A = this chain, B = another copy of it.
Amino acid sequence: MRLSDLGEVKTIEIIKNLISRKSLRAQGLKEIKIGIGDDCAVFNDGTIITTDAYIEDIHFSLDYFSLFDIGQRVACGTLSDIGAMAGKPIALFVSALFPSNMTDTQIKELYSGMLSISNRFNCEISGGDIVAYPKLGLILTAIGKSKVPKLRSTARPGDCLYITGYCGLAETGRLVLKNKLSRNMFRESVKRHICPVPRINEALKLSKYINAMIDTSDGLSTDAFHISQESKVRIKIFAGKLPIHQETQQLINRLENRSIRAQTKVCDYQTKSFAVNNGEDYELLFTSKYENLPQEILGTKVTKIGRIEKGRGIFLIQNEKEIPLLPKGYDHFHR
């Protein structure tokens, strides 16, 4: 079957099965605690490792990203996986595909963007590789350390589900730029799209309260699905509790070309759907046995949006109805 029919999640499943079946863990490989299947791989000594690929016209557009922006964006995205394990980043490795007509000035701008983020988290760029290629591509590997790595597989029935920041804010920013709307009217969302600063410090602060965690890179529905699958639990998400930024609401109104007033109700379901099915927010989605965590940590909003139960699947609770939620986040192969 072709990958375009299989989709991303099933393709990853095939690779995971193949590797775990054919790999050597049974033969006494003790260095690796968690292999493929979480935000990072975890070694016995607490080293955590993640890798992410970013390709022009798929993950970013040169139409409205400067090279500095791109550098920031890819460093944020990769380091977010370290944050999602409640880890501290140490080193970043950059494999780059560069078009031959790029200049040294452009390379400097790109790496300055990456450094502006890595330096912020005391992380060093420690190696890499470069290849000439018609399109710009950046493949980053981040190494970190985590005392108690937070996994996707450790949610427990009875836990509350929390999320930092807003759902759908980064996608709001992307659509603002793509549709050439006023950046001034959509400052927060454009900022979250271009420079989604990873919630590393927030994760470290919250770590002791957390059971399971993931970052919202694929979209809430897909990322909650990962927790549900790996932890073998049922997840209820309360639609009314979803933290949706006013810029997201404004954008949906604008794109629908209706008056803001008439639209708030009409588009309520549409707004919720937008919020749960769009990714790249790089927020923390986590479960906790604590009912009343602070609503803000280090200046970042924290919202209780759901509940973990026995069973399987994800359900959106709206108007007292349970709507089954499918993982509809971004899929690289289904378009």
Find A127's partner among B3, B36, B125, B129 (CB 8 Å cutoff): B36
Q: Which residue on B lies nearest to A48, using beta carbons?
A: B127
Which of A40, A45, A53, A103 is the most central at the interface, judged by chain B CB atoms within 10 Å of its CB? Answer: A53
> What bracket does the count of chain A residues touching chain B fall in?
35 or more
Contacts A36-B126, A49-B127, A93-B141; is A133 near B3 (CB within 8 Å)? no
- Does B139 lie within 8 Å of A36, measured CB to CB? no
Copies of this chain, tallied across the complex? 2
Contacts A35-B124, A124-B24, A127-B41; is A132 near B50 (CB within 8 Å)? no
In the complex, A22 has a CB within 8 A of chain B: yes
Q: Which residue on B lies nearest to A98, using beta carbons?
A: B3
In the complex, A292 has a CB within 8 A of chain B: no
Find A129's partner among B32, B52, B90 (CB 8 Å cutoff): B52
- Does A143 lie within 8 Å of B332, measured CB to CB? no
In the complex, A298 has a CB within 8 A of chain B: no
- Does A107 lie within 8 Å of B332, measured CB to CB? no
- Does B15 lie within 8 Å of A111, measured CB to CB? yes
Q: Please report the C-alpha to C-alpha distance between residue A14 and residue B31 in the assembled complex, in whole angstroms.
A: 36
- Does A130 lie within 8 Å of B51, measured CB to CB? no
Chain A residues 89 to 129 lying within 8 A of chain B, measured CB to CB, are 90-91, 93-104, 107-108, 111-112, 115, 118-119, 122-129
Contacts A24-B122, A31-B90, A102-B3; is A51 near B107 (CB within 8 Å)? no
- Does B91 lie within 8 Å of A31, measured CB to CB? yes
A225-261 Cβ-contact flags toward B at 8 Å (1 or 0): 0000000000000000000000000000000000000
Min Cβ gap A325→B in Å is 23
Min Cβ gap A240→B in Å is 34
Q: Please report the C-alpha to C-alpha distance between residue A99 and residue B90 in the assembled complex, in whole angstroms.
A: 33
A-B pairs with beta carbons under 8 Å apart, 13 shown: A3-B107, A14-B107, A14-B108, A19-B111, A23-B118, A23-B125, A36-B125, A43-B91, A47-B47, A51-B128, A55-B133, A58-B132, A139-B139
